[in-house]
Structure 1
């Protein structure tokens, strides 16, 4: 019988396959090694293939699309409800095969090689940023044990610590001074790595027409713009801007029942990194708007009604919708743009 739908449970070395025909009857239940995957699937007639969006999923999706198959990636949490029994590779592959055929299933866009390479820069940069912050906190904590308090902010480490190490009146042991100097050198090395990766990201941003277009939105710079373009890909996969905002976790979480609407705090679903960048950018805009006493912008109107944190999330939500409009409809950002529906 011809296979119409195939579910693949990805792994490092062993892959589990579960395929069904047009009547939903299982016709393939087998396990393949990594080196056997390509040879088996290239000879399989074109069909719908479902996989979880995990490690190497985008690589296999591009490869299988080259074989003529239709490939769909799904978030693992959306596949979990279809696992009928205890968790094992066979049950997971069967659940993936069933989930990919659901008409209301939401899928993950398949990323290109360029998108993955740009996101790799962001991932490594973020790792260096976290390591830099941890190193700065360690230096601050060690010095506090000797009664030397460094103000908050990573900039104070580079300015104040060398002076403390040179000061002979603070009674720091010589071995401890050498230790802190080693940590300070490591902090400078991490900072240099972060700046080098930021230079590479900005270089890609300037070469990308879409990324450069997004940088015109207040609160979105080269780092945020490049991450948005590389992660979203084709914005037309979303029906509207609100779906993008919800996908980033910038909408209220609901707990409604009996016709009574009960909205809670942010859902905080989706990409944490993108949501953080958008909210940090919104805080920057609010900081500058609050310094203008006679400002009558949309942000200032929100600030008159709500606190700065709520206004930052609202602006991040608005920017997410603007990003979708610019990417999906190939438009340029205009600060004075008024929707025709609103004008009517």
Structure 2
């Protein structure tokens, strides 16, 4: 089922790969639900495959699940080499997806459960806001250099703090650069407000999750990081062992093996970059505050540069997190005082939300 902005194409085949019919419908939830119900009534025990295209697939998957039609989400990048390149149409793609589904040769994507989609979207929204603020701060620093202004004169260490922003807005009045400077300040203030509001909402969602409370016992992981891990990974049991999760996160090197020859390359790039980034940040904190992780870091540092040694710690932490979630227990070497402090901070943020 190729997904377009306006239309979706469905190809129905039998057990011998013979086309039964090819239909199209409007890319709306109501049209998808009507199509799913009609296919189930006409063909009985059928199953479907939907192409993962942006966020357009979500309404179609929800509709087919509502109609009790089993549906999987196809990974277009990994299935691309299986599709013929001589011609490219939605009807051809729909037929190829139907054949691959029948042969059980379809590379699929994980579909996040409905109750985690909202918190997951909220997490990514907050990350986007922070990235926008970072770009605005870079532009702000550039204007300060043009006007030969020093942040040390503001009396504040943080350029995003209210004291520093008030000081910047009073500088260079009447100049074109000053006008641009004040607009940059207003934009940063606006983003600060949106980020603070998003973080309060994230705290409320995190406080509802038992998984978040368990993950917060891991050194260096607060409610934001714990919720990010839980929403991005989703069902922890879909990984039979922690090393498959390590591969999914991208904390293992690529392997090139042929015969008796085996070579390990750079770290995998086809991974979840959000979880990878979060684990690296957590590892930096764990090295300073967790004796067990500090010992692991020192051991790795003897033979590897700093960045690789930190990756070793991050890899161990995701393995520990998998064990915690599958066994439903807290981190065995938890710092109780720090853990209680993180829980109090979470409850305090929820009260102010």
* TM-score, normalisation: structure 1: 0.83
| Compared CA separation, residues 256 and 73, structure 1 to 2 (3 A) | same
User: Is the Cα–Cα contact under 8 Å of residues 52 and 76 in structure 2 kept in the other structure?
Assistant: yes
Q: Over residues 44-89 of structure 1, what are the superposed CA-to-partner deviations in whole Å (9 max), with x where a residue is unaligned?
A: 2231211123323233223212222111112211221221242221
Root mean square deviation, CA, Å: 2.8
Q: 1:307 aligns with which of 305, 308, 312?
A: 305
User: Is the Cα–Cα contact under 8 Å of residues 256 and 265 in structure 2 kept in the other structure?
Assistant: yes
Q: CA deviation at 1:259?
A: 3.0
Q: Give the 3-state SS of the residue equivalent to 2:64 in structure 1.
A: helix
User: Is the Cα–Cα contact under 8 Å of residues 173 and 179 in structure 2 kept in the other structure?
Assistant: no
User: Can you give the 5+ residue segments of structure 2 that lack an aligned partner in the other structure?
Assistant: 335-353
* Distance of 1:280 and 1:27 partners within structure 2: 53
* Distance of 1:163 and 1:209 partners within structure 2: 43
* Distance of 2:56 and 2:326 partners within structure 1: 27
Alignment of 1:28-177 (within 5 A): 28-34=21-27, 36-44=31-39, 45-54=44-53, 55-85=55-85, 86-103=87-104, 105-148=106-149, 155-156=158-159, 158=161, 162-163=166-167, 166=170, 173-177=174-178
* Distance of 1:19 and 1:193 partners within structure 2: 47
User: Is the Cα–Cα contact under 8 Å of residues 286 and 293 in structure 2 kept in the other structure?
Assistant: no
* Distance of 2:167 and 2:245 partners within structure 1: 49
* Distance of 1:104 and 1:58 partners within structure 2: 22
Q: Over residues 130-156 of structure 1, what are the superposed CA-to-partner deviations in whole Å (9 max), with x where a residue is unaligned?
A: 1101111101112212333558x9923
* Distance of 1:280 and 1:254 partners within structure 2: 26
| Compared CA separation, residues 40 and 185, structure 1 to 2 (3 A) | closer
* Distance of 1:268 and 1:73 partners within structure 2: 21
Q: 1:9 aligns with which of 2, 9, 16?
A: 2
Q: Which moved more, 1:326-335 or 1:83-92?
A: 326-335
- Is 1:25 aligned to residue 23 of structure 2? no
User: Can you give the 5+ residue segments of structure 1 that lack an aligned partner in the other structure?
Assistant: 1-7, 337-344
What residue in structure 2 maps to residue 234 of structure 1?
235
Q: How many residues align?
A: 322
What residue in structure 2 maps to residue 334 of structure 1?
332
Q: Give the 3-state SS of the residue equivalent to 2:262 in structure 1.
A: coil
* TM-score, normalisation: structure 2: 0.81
